[in-house]
Amino acid sequence: MTTPAAETNPKTAPGRRSWLRDHSELGVCVLLLALGVLVLTDALTMDVDITQRGPVGPRTVPMVVGIGLLVIAALLAVDVLRGGRGEAEGGEDVDLSEPADWRTVLLLSGIFLGAAVLIEPAGFPVAGALLFWGAAFALGSRRVDRDPLIAAVLSLLTYVVFDKLLGVPLPGGPLMGVL
């Protein structure tokens, strides 16, 4: 039996709530649609030099991607409205009845933001080491004797591979003269 409050308030009516829950994939459709419109708008407003024009110019790939996003959004919406549902991952070890671990999410978010702020003044090796060590800590590792050393080696190795071997300039910070 429904309560009188549920019958008078359409937002809390069981039929409306279950329809939205059953068609929650439409949120992905809206996201894909917005992303497609954004990509197409950006591609159409792109400044193209007259000498760069030809059969395949700089607008071609963004136009194809934007149109593809719109087509996928439309096809997904049609499928969802016809009753199609995504299948749950069979190999995942996630218990969906458990609440989200917001402490870990917030710790990781803070660590990523901190690394983004520190990368310019402290350099990639220092910011990367703090990022790797902080991520390991947030995800449950409590080996303070080993984790900082692994994070420092991993960060320096990443810096050397990208900056020296691949030629992708990364900020060195105070270690710029040493490395």
**What is the C-alpha separation between 123 and 159, in angstroms, rounded?**
10
Question: What is the pLDDT at residue 118?
Answer: 94
Q: What is the pLDDT of residue 1?
A: 47
* 109 and 42 in a common domain: no
Residues 71 and 135 in one domain: no
Query: Is residue 36 a part of any domain in this protein?
Result: yes
Is residue 139 a contact partner of residue 104, using CB atoms and an 8 Å limit?
Answer: yes
Torsion of CA 126, 129, 132, 138, to 10 degrees: -80
What is the reported pLDDT for 60?
85
The per-residue pLDDT for range 48-61, each reduced to its tens digit, is: 766 655 667 778 88
pLDDT tens for each residue of 123-155: 999 999 999 999 999 999 999 899 999 999 999
**Average pLDDT of 104-114?**
95
> Into how many domains does the chain fold?
2
Average pLDDT, the chain: 83
Q: Percent of the chain having pLDDT more than 90? A: 51
Domain assignment present for residue 151? The answer is yes
Q: What letter would DSSP give residue 99?
A: P
Q: Per 3-state DSSP, what percentage of the chain is helix, strand, and coil (rounded to 5)?
A: 65, 0, 35
Tell me: pLDDT of 65 over 90. Answer: yes
Q: Please indicate, yes or no, if residue 87 is contained in any of the structural domains.
A: no
153 and 108, same domain (yes or no): yes
pLDDT at 146: 94
Say yes or no to pLDDT of 32 above 80: yes
pLDDT greater than 80 at residue 168: yes
Q: Hey, what are 175's tokens? A: 């270690």
Amino acid, single-letter form, for residue 30? V
Computed on alpha carbons and rounded to an integer, the radius of gyration of the chain in Å comes to 25
pLDDT of 13 over the 70 cut: no
76 and 16 together in one domain: yes
If one compares 84 and 42, the residue with the highest pLDDT of the two is: 42
In a domain, 94, yes or no: no
pLDDT at 103: 93
Give yes or no: residues 72 and 117 share one domain. no
Residue 54 has a pLDDT of 60
Between 96 and 163, the higher pLDDT residue: 163
State the residue range of the domain holding 68. Answer: 4-49+56-81
The answer to whether residues 112 and 166 belong to one domain is yes
Per the domain annotation, does 12 fall within a domain? Answer: yes
Do 111 and 138 contact (CB within 8 A), yes or no? yes
